[in-house]
Amino acid sequence: MAEARGDTREGGALERTLLARALAARDPGRLHLRFHSSVVDRYRERAGATLLRTRSVGRVALPGRWTLDMGIAEGPDGEILLHLPVGDLLDRLPEEEWEHWTAHLATGPASDSYLQMRMTPAACIDDGEPGAWE
């Protein structure tokens, strides 16, 4: 994918507004996930697939089957990332495509211990003595 300067200047403020709206509506499906742009490569070669984009918005479609719209933005390291709401992945993307998209998830820093605790609530995680939060 080529350049994607797009709307990244105001992205932080817009994402905070999006979070506030998702919280107010109690609708986590509005929250966006980010994916490496290579996620769309498989559709370039798929017969009948259509890929369209502007500088900051794109669409992947298999006409008569599904259509997925996404934002295009440059990440902090210059990598082009795609982002879209979780709800669109659930509602518009066929389940047989989920594994492919999961493999291209662009992750950020996260606590492995905390993620393990959330995935397995009964998990016992020992990562040291508790201390004051300074």
Residue 49 lies in a domain: yes
Identify the segments of the chain with pLDDT beneath 70. Answer: 1-11
Q: Which of 19, 21, 42 is nearest to 97 (CA)?
A: 42
Give a yes or no: residue 31 inside a domain: yes
- Is 126 a member of any domain? no
Q: How many domains does the chain have?
A: 1
Query: Domain limits at 13?
Result: 8-119
Please tell me the predicted confidence (pLDDT) of residue 2.
44
* HSE-up (13 A, CA, CB side) for residue 25: 11
pLDDT computed for residue 94 by the predictor: 97
| CA–CA separation, 103 and 83 (whole Å) | 14
**What is the residue type of 108?**
G
In a domain, 50, yes or no: yes
Given this model, what pLDDT does residue 60 score? 98
